Structure 1
Amino acid sequence: MFRQITLMLFITLYAGASATVQAQVTAGITPCEARIQALEEEVATLRQATPASMTSATPTDLPSRHASLWTSDYDSSTLDNPIVDASKYPAVKMTGFFQADAGWIHQNAANRIAVGDIQDGADFRRARLAATGDVAENVGYMVEFDFGFPGRPSFMDVWLEVRDTRLGDVKVGQFRHPIGLGGLTSVKELTFIERGLPFAFLPFRQIGAMTSGADEDAGRTWALSGFRFPTDVFGGQIGDDGGYGLATRLTQVVFEDANGRVVHIGGAYSLIDPANDAVRYRSQPEFFIAETGGAAFVPAGVPSAVPPFVDTGVIATKKSHLFGAELATTSGSFHAQSEFIHAIVNRNAGPTVSFSGVSVQAGYILTGEHRPYNRKAGVLGRVVPTNDFGECGCGAWEIAARWSMLDLNNADIRGGRLNTSTLGLNWYLNKFTKFQFNYIHAFLDNPVNGDSDADIFAMRAQVDF
């Protein structure tokens, strides 16, 4: 019917146009000019005759009216019922980063006797790829692997999270458990190349479940987790049917003002019943090169990696307790933080022993930027340059200093005492790229070999995306 009406309309218009042309030629207008005027009149007439519903669509309306042109989510059975509200889930984003490190080590004779002749070296400290996103409005996930960590590749953060439940945000999988200010600060946002010495006590990433929440207006965070302990680099259980732990952390902003000054305090506790009834604490002097497959080519007696300077050895243990306290502040271009971790180990045989670690650090951003406070995580956040490195800027420059101590001597356990003093210089080219330079002086008190010193100059190149 529509075609018949259109055809009749066209014939009528054509006849009218022909008559108009003949009249215009008689009036002295050329045939070409007469034909153009007739066509203009014809177009105007067609516009008036066309139904409004056929002209109301704008170019921006077309994808929703004819979805098959822009999306595969289309019901081809009818043009009147396209599937236009395609789900945005699951959503996925690829992310990752790498940290390339190099270190030069100088030891005095006593230190070489105590820990071995450490070689200069370079390594990828971390090289990670991850997929993260949401599968529903309140369910997120992350799957992250590290190709630089021993295990190559190793599981890092592999979890799902259900948000905004009556129990807070509930996370299940492998993740960092809630104890330690340094441990919960992202490795991409560390002021120094490595975390402070108290990090040696932390259970860190284990497979388990956690509930957590943050009242950002009140400046408060809380978290409680349970986990298997220990787990390997692939998230698998190590040992017998035992091996459980819990960790909890509470933080509070106790002072802030309109100028961005913030003072943060926090406390944490962890109880661990380890598999195989054994624990071990040890640490390098805040610089790490992992042992690789090339270790077979290293001469006998020469360390193929930076070895632990202090080490309790394996301790037969019923349970261990960790107590943590932390303090942090950021004000203008200045920021500082400190933490204390105390470990109590209930042994299977012999008296209870205790060990401790402390770290104090401060930084100042020479180019005037401010290090923000992350209210959701209860840690200091990322330095972002005001002017990126390039034709119009030099990025952000920061100087920093830290002192750390780890004491693993108690009763008959003589793991040694390590003090480190570190000076740092950081160059933030942009939000996602930085270079770090650290000078580390390590003072080792070894129960067998006495006092010794080592100097380490280390540097790192980092980019994340």
Structure 2
Amino acid sequence: MHQFSIFGGTSALLLVALLPALPASADTPWDLKLSGRVLYDYTQADADTAAFDVDEAELRSARLAVSGKTGIVSFKVELETDEAGDIAATDAYADLAPKGTSWKFRVGQFKTPNSLEEQTSGRFTTFAERAAFTDAFEFDRRVGIAAHTKGQAWTFMAGAFGGNLNDTPGNEGFALAARGTYTPIHTDALIVHLGTSVRYREKGDDQANLRYRQRPFAHIPGRMISTGSVGESDTLLGIEGAVLRGPLWLSSEYATLTSDLAAGGDATFGGGSIEAGYVFGGERTYRGGKFDRPKVDQPVTEGGYGALAVSAAFDTLDLSDSGVDGGSMDTVRLGLSWYPTSKTRIGLSLFQSDGDLGTSTSGLDPAFADAVRAGVRSDQVTGFTLRLQADF
């Protein structure tokens, strides 16, 4: 097992946090911006068989960020809290853009470059949660160094990463990741997006084996399926595509993950999603290889009625292979979102998750762990999440 450390988490955060204090010339003063968001959720859900019943609300996320730019240097530092009240760093990075080249170099904590839906901000996703595979395969933020560039119709990023800044980055193994996108058609009337990404990951010497698990869509309940701690390393390959035509959009992704098992051999898991929707009174937008802030033709602040988005999606996740019986889950989602303005949203996500529970109880919600121990092989969870959202 290799050990990989890019730099300590504390020093990385300090480096980025001190950037605004660095001297700037009179010709290139710091251009600073303060931003933030609040996401608040209410979820009701119950299972057909397991003693599982959820009726709860939570502060899903509250973030405050400062970003800035001067000359060839830009930065972002963002802190987050949630229902638990803990404060953690999300993004904390600096970009260096040398003159004479289109390449930029990023250092600090940020998301590994994987998945269209994961790269799209949670403010701009259609449903309250992303597709199941993005969480099960642990797309996350890590301390790292990456190079990125873009052209008129393409983007590319590749980097090397340690662990998460809020833990002990040097003791959490390492990851190598890259993503490229291409828009063969990008006009005012039609956008076609294609993309692919890869990631290789190894656990740290003092870290538990990698495990793959997922909730029945909503964030409030515990996990419904899990492999348990089985992997020493894994390799992921993902493909993605999307079409935007006026108020209509269609997107789809699929990823396979091959895990090098601690017990010997390997297992291949898979997951993907397909989603379609239509915006009345607006459009879903796209920029830089990901979905961007929705367009609202007549916001309520200008005497209009805002925009209404309707959407439907199906996602699937399979965590069973080569003697690992982590179960599988298929989820149908229906969404309705009202945007009074482009920065406010009231969203309703209806979902039904059908799960093969597998045989592992590791890290499951107690209700599903009891069901597995009782010999229940499958279950269905039906519910909804109501989201209130605002950002500035």
- Maintained 8 Å contact 1:94/1:132: yes
| 1:380-459 correspondence runs (5 A) | 380-389=291-300, 392-447=303-358, 448=372, 449-459=376-386
- Maintained 8 Å contact 1:408/1:415: yes
- Maintained 8 Å contact 1:247/1:270: yes
- Partners in 2 of 1:208 and 1:191 — Cα distance? 29
The AA in structure 2 aligned to 1:370 is E
User: Partner of 2:214 in structure 1?
Assistant: 283
1:223 aligns with 2:148: no
- Please, which of 171, 186, 203 is the counterpart of residue 239 of structure 1? 171
1:91 aligns with 2:31: yes
User: Partner of 1:132 in structure 2?
Assistant: 67
- Aligned partner of residue 383 in structure 1, secondary structure: strand
- Offset at 1:149? 6.8
Partner deviation per Cα, 1:328-356 (whole Å, 9 max, x = no partner) = 11001101111111000112332211100
- Partners in 1 of 2:239 and 2:182 — Cα distance? 12
User: Partner of 1:460 in structure 2?
Assistant: 387
- Please, which of 69, 88, 103 is the counterpart of residue 168 of structure 1? 103
Q: TM-score, normalised by structure 1?
A: 0.72
- Aligned partner of residue 117 in structure 2, secondary structure: helix
Q: Which ranges of structure 1 fall in alignment gaps of 5 or more residues?
A: 1-84, 290-305
Range with greater deviation from structure 2 (146-155 or 244-253): 146-155
- Partners in 2 of 1:149 and 1:250 — Cα distance? 35
Q: Which structure shows the bigger proportion of residues in strand conformation? A: 2
- Offset at 1:274? 1.5
- Maintained 8 Å contact 2:102/2:150: no
User: Partner of 1:324 in structure 2?
Assistant: 238
User: Partner of 2:224 in structure 1?
Assistant: 309
The 1:237–1:86 alpha-carbon spacing in structure 2 relative to 1, beyond 3 Å, is: closer
Count residues with an aligned counterpart.
348
User: Partner of 1:203 in structure 2?
Assistant: 139
- Partners in 2 of 1:382 and 1:307 — Cα distance? 30
The AA in structure 2 aligned to 1:102 is Y
- Partners in 1 of 2:231 and 2:155 — Cα distance? 35
- Partners in 1 of 2:29 and 2:148 — Cα distance? 24
- Offset at 1:260? 2.2
Partner deviation per Cα, 1:270-307 (whole Å, 9 max, x = no partner) = 11121136211111122112xxxxxxxxxxxxxxxx11
- Partners in 2 of 1:316 and 1:398 — Cα distance? 40
The 1:389–1:183 alpha-carbon spacing in structure 2 relative to 1, beyond 3 Å, is: same
- Partners in 2 of 1:238 and 1:445 — Cα distance? 36
The AA in structure 1 aligned to 2:65 is A
Q: Which structure shows the bigger proportion of residues in helix conformation? A: 1
Partner deviation per Cα, 1:217-239 (whole Å, 9 max, x = no partner) = xx1010101001x436x153263
User: Partner of 2:114 in structure 1?
Assistant: 179
The AA in structure 2 aligned to 1:248 is A
- Offset at 1:203? 3.5
- Partners in 1 of 2:238 and 2:212 — Cα distance? 16
- Partners in 1 of 2:262 and 2:217 — Cα distance? 31
Instruction: Choose between structure 1 and 2 for higher RCO, CA contacts under 8 A separated by at least 6 residues.
Output: 2
- Please, which of 255, 262, 283 is the counterpart of residue 341 of structure 1? 255
User: Partner of 1:142 in structure 2?
Assistant: 76
User: Partner of 1:363 in structure 2?
Assistant: 277
User: RMSD of the alignment, in Å?
Assistant: 1.9
- Offset at 1:457? 1.3
- Partners in 2 of 1:396 and 1:203 — Cα distance? 30
- Maintained 8 Å contact 1:111/1:454: no
- Offset at 1:164? 4.2
- Partners in 2 of 1:145 and 1:440 — Cα distance? 30
Q: TM-score, normalised by structure 2?
A: 0.84
- Partners in 2 of 1:149 and 1:254 — Cα distance? 43
- Aligned partner of residue 431 in structure 1, secondary structure: coil
The AA in structure 1 aligned to 2:77 is V
- Offset at 1:93? 1.6
- Maintained 8 Å contact 1:155/1:235: no
1:102 aligns with 2:42: yes
The 1:286–1:157 alpha-carbon spacing in structure 2 relative to 1, beyond 3 Å, is: same
Moved segments of 4+, more than 4 Å: 85-88, 164-167
The 1:93–1:311 alpha-carbon spacing in structure 2 relative to 1, beyond 3 Å, is: same
